[in-house]
């Protein structure tokens, strides 16, 4: 059975990194952007990382520019922004595509394990769905990720156990991470 440990990705310097290096840890894998309305998610993500990393928790950050060009910088510019503005210390990888023919295989896998189930209810969610649908029309069936800051929770065995859309309250994400760390 395939797990996230079967994938190799590029770090922000272009080096290959086997996700097997994270075996036995609880992972939160996130596609991010520096100019998005959800960019402030970096703050609770970093807080959670600092508080829980000693318990075997890692956040893997993958910048993506496929959503309204909200991550236009180089890997180094994005890294500098995240560390200076939010103090981000969790691993940041090279900018990738998460949708279409050029989608990173890791994100195609994550989305196949936990497909999109909607943004939820409320005006903000309806508005995001409208933007998402327009943006992702060009990717058709390969529109795996609907917007920036989609988060996938992976257990210590490398199995994808939850997907959180950017509209999910970060308190709920944190609660799921803690629950998984305690199992």
By annotation, the residues acting in catalysis are 36
The dihedrals phi and psi of 71, each to the nearest 5 degrees, come to -140, 65
HSE, side-chain direction, 13 A CA sphere, residue 103: 23
100 conformational bin, left if phi > 0, alpha if psi -120 to 50, beta if neither = left
Contact 105, 138 (CB under 8 A): no
Are β-strands 57-63 and 8-10 bridged in parallel, bridged antiparallel, or unpaired? unpaired
Q: Dihedral of CA 99/169/24/90: which sign?
A: positive
SS3 1: coil
């Amino acid at each position: 059975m395939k797990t996230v440990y079967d994938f190799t990705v590029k770090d922000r310097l272009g080096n290959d990194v086997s996700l097997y290096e994270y075996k036995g840890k609880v992972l939160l894998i996130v596609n991010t952007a520096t100019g998005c309305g959800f960019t402030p998610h970096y703050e609770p993500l970093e807080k959670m990382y600092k508080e829980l990393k000693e318990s075997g928790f890692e956040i893997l950050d993958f910048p993506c520019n496929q959503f309204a060009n909200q991550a236009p910088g180089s890997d180094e510019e994005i890294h500098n922004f995240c560390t200076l503005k939010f103090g981000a210390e969790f691993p940041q990888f090279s900018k990738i595509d998460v949708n279409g023919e050029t989608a990173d295989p890791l994100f195609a896998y994550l989305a196949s394990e936990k497909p999109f189930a909607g943004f939820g209810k409320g005006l903000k969610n309806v508005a995001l769905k409208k933007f998402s649908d327009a943006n992702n029309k060009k990717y058709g069936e390969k529109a795996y990720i609907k917007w920036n800051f989609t988060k996938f929770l992976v257990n210590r065995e490398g199995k994808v156990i939850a997907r959180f859309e950017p509209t999910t309250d970060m308190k709920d994400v944190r609660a799921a991470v803690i629950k998984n760390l305690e199992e």
